[in-house]
Amino acid sequence: MNALPLPPSGCFATGADGPLHLYAVRAYFEDTDLSGVVYHANYLRWFERARSDMLRLLNVDQRAAQEAGEGAYAVAEMTIRYAAPARLDDDVLIETRIEELGAASIRLVQVAFRRTGVEENAVHKGPMLAQARVRVGFVAPDGRPRRQPAAWRTAYAQFLAGADQATQFSSPNQPGTP
Amino acid sequence: MNALPLPPSGCFATGADGPLHLYAVRAYFEDTDLSGVVYHANYLRWFERARSDMLRLLNVDQRAAQEAGEGAYAVAEMTIRYAAPARLDDDVLIETRIEELGAASIRLVQVAFRRTGVEENAVHKGPMLAQARVRVGFVAPDGRPRRQPAAWRTAYAQFLAGADQATQFSSPNQPGTP
Amino acid sequence: MNALPLPPSGCFATGADGPLHLYAVRAYFEDTDLSGVVYHANYLRWFERARSDMLRLLNVDQRAAQEAGEGAYAVAEMTIRYAAPARLDDDVLIETRIEELGAASIRLVQVAFRRTGVEENAVHKGPMLAQARVRVGFVAPDGRPRRQPAAWRTAYAQFLAGADQATQFSSPNQPGTP
Amino acid sequence: MNALPLPPSGCFATGADGPLHLYAVRAYFEDTDLSGVVYHANYLRWFERARSDMLRLLNVDQRAAQEAGEGAYAVAEMTIRYAAPARLDDDVLIETRIEELGAASIRLVQVAFRRTGVEENAVHKGPMLAQARVRVGFVAPDGRPRRQPAAWRTAYAQFLAGADQATQFSSPNQPGTP
């Protein structure tokens, strides 16, 4: 029998520009519009999934913070360039890098690539589909900016310190984790 | 280093009611609404992802059929009952069964469960979240019903013949597949 | 200069089966998928807009109830039949009837029609696109069913008592209201 | 009886920076996420509705161009700043200006405001919610950039020439149009 299906889950790696988070999505009917390609706004949903997965792997519990009334991240600013269209059933890889870590906000760079194949320890990247620079701010329930929880900033700093430490952040739900 | 991230991909299994397709999703911010739980319409998107993944694993190429002008599946009818809410970060398992295979349409039963854990060869199901009965029909580009491609019906019939043959349908992108 | 744009807003009327709420939407790119027609799950979003508009016209303040921690409506059950596809730029009319008013839940029937024209006091209905029977339940923040606020049930009862009283519910934002 | 409901429709006006398109939306449950405010990606859907409405009022028939295989607009680039959150039932006004008209693309500025009231010939603007600069390109079905249809560019030029001519573009479905 096949492996049991696992929820989509990313991992950490080291890229040319330093530590990266990698996340995979597939394009479904829900993502497309009548022009036959993925609707532009849906890349923002994909990028949000990748950011949330990165936080989860860093043991940043957004739901607990939300339920405890501490606050939540809100996108403050985003610039996105669309380079090539994604089509139904395309396998897409999303790379997320932390560009700048502030007291109350984080700047990230996120890039979506079409995948052309998978091999042991290697991803075959196809064309770049879209590239975004995003600033997210932590906001209190009253909507005012608030410093991110200290434990979260520590986790981000550890991640930024290098992917060789990143494996310690691996998720129990991660496919193929020993 | 961790395993490379793979696109969400399901598998086949045998349930009490016969052959099943299993598919996993996670609830993200995009899926929720201000009541704090997953917005009701988004279960239909999750169920569509599961159906599309099942077809892909059966080598049914919806995109090729669409691009060749043969046609596409359209949901003709759906009954859905919401049993319990899904919340942010919940791991959700979707079971899909083919209930009835017609010349131009298929009846399916799809059930979403919260997952409470994963073990070798075992999924720990939590409460049922939603259950749907769906009828999808194959329609020509002009919108008229059309018989499904013969190869597709054969694939469905093989799947219905039993999950012990299902492994032959396993996807190259399937996590953990040898 | 043209009239100022007003938010989409419905009205009450009397149909063959009694009092109705009418709501208009237009199909945009966001609503379609690559098959060229409106994605099936998006009718649920349209129906939710129509229900929320009906409640708003009945002075049922869902946001206040949510913010006060009283609760919110959740869809408990829905059966939907898709009769004909909606396409980009189609003008769609949604009729909503209250079928049954319970202590903690409401059964509604919602039908979407393509519009073929508008005249003074007359809507030209095109083909039916989709028809749904929906049961929504009022739920407390802890997820348990709860009786709907008494004032809300009174408003629904007044509406059910007849559309000739319905005009008293007209919204200040209603286009063309004297 | 109240006025019949009309599909959401905008209008043209003259702003401090010249001719504008105005479009109104309301925030529904579908637009929000668990943080209680409108999900960031949904502003892109609102902005797309406003652009499509502007085109429709200019007699630019996107659907006909799509069905004739001429091509469609695709968002090439967008920068968006989120200034204040929108909440359930908020009435939102979207202003769209054409910033630059090219052979194959258009640069637009779109701003969303909360509305605090409506009066004869006057809109009361509340706080700015989000501001976006968008570049859309016309692309052939094969995905390559293509010059926009000449008639479309003429319509844009007429619009840019001044809102006093804009009334000639008014839609038959426009609320309150004589």
Measured between beta carbons, the chain A residues lying within 8 angstroms of B126 are: none
The confidence score (pLDDT) of residue C118 equals 67
Q: Which of C17, C31, C33, C142 does the annotation list as catalytic?
A: C33
| Rounded Cα–Cα distance for residues B177 and C13 (Å) | 59
The confidence score (pLDDT) of residue C15 equals 84
pLDDT tens, position by position, A130-140: 999 999 999 99
Flag whether pLDDT at D119 surpasses 80.
no
CB D14 within 8 A of CB D161: no
pTM of this structure: 0.92
For residue A118 the two structure tokens come to: 């998978």
The confidence score (pLDDT) of residue B19 equals 94
Mean pLDDT of D147-168: 79
Q: Is D64 on the interface with B (CB under 8 A)?
A: no
Mean pLDDT of A161-173: 46
Residues contacting D18, CB < 8 A, separation 6+: D97, D160, D162, D163
- CB < 8 Å from B in window 43-62 of A: 45, 48-49, 52-53, 56, 61-62
| D90 assigned to active site | no
Flag whether pLDDT at D170 surpasses 50.
no
Q: Which of B33, B53, B90, B164 does the annotation list as catalytic?
A: B33
H-only helix segments in A11-163: 42-57, 62-67, 150-160
Q: Residue D178, SS3?
A: coil
Lowest mean pLDDT among B12-16, C96-100, D23-27, D33-37: B12-16
Instruction: Please report which confidence band the pLDDT of residue B177 belongs to, taking 50, 70 and 90 as the band edges.
Output: very low
Instruction: Please report which confidence band the pLDDT of residue C66 belongs to, taking 50, 70 and 90 as the band edges.
Output: very high
Q: Residue B72, SS3?
A: strand
Interchain contact, B76 vs C82, CB within 8 Å:
yes
CB A52 within 8 A of CB A73: no
Flag whether pLDDT at B15 surpasses 90.
no
Interchain contact, C3 vs D11, CB within 8 Å:
yes
Instruction: Please report which confidence band the pLDDT of residue A170 belongs to, taking 50, 70 and 90 as the band edges.
Output: very low
Question: What dihedral do alpha carbons D52, D56, D59, D64 form, nearest 10°?
Answer: 70
The confidence score (pLDDT) of residue B78 equals 98
The confidence score (pLDDT) of residue C82 equals 98
Flag whether pLDDT at B169 surpasses 80.
no
Q: Residue C38, SS3?
A: strand
D15 vs C78: which has the higher pLDDT? C78
Mean pLDDT of D4-32: 91
Q: DSSP code of D147?
A: P
| Rounded Cα–Cα distance for residues D109 and A134 (Å) | 19
For residue C141 the two structure tokens come to: 């923040």
| Rounded Cα–Cα distance for residues A76 and D83 (Å) | 7
Query: C164: how many CB neighbours lie within 10 A of its CB?
Result: 11
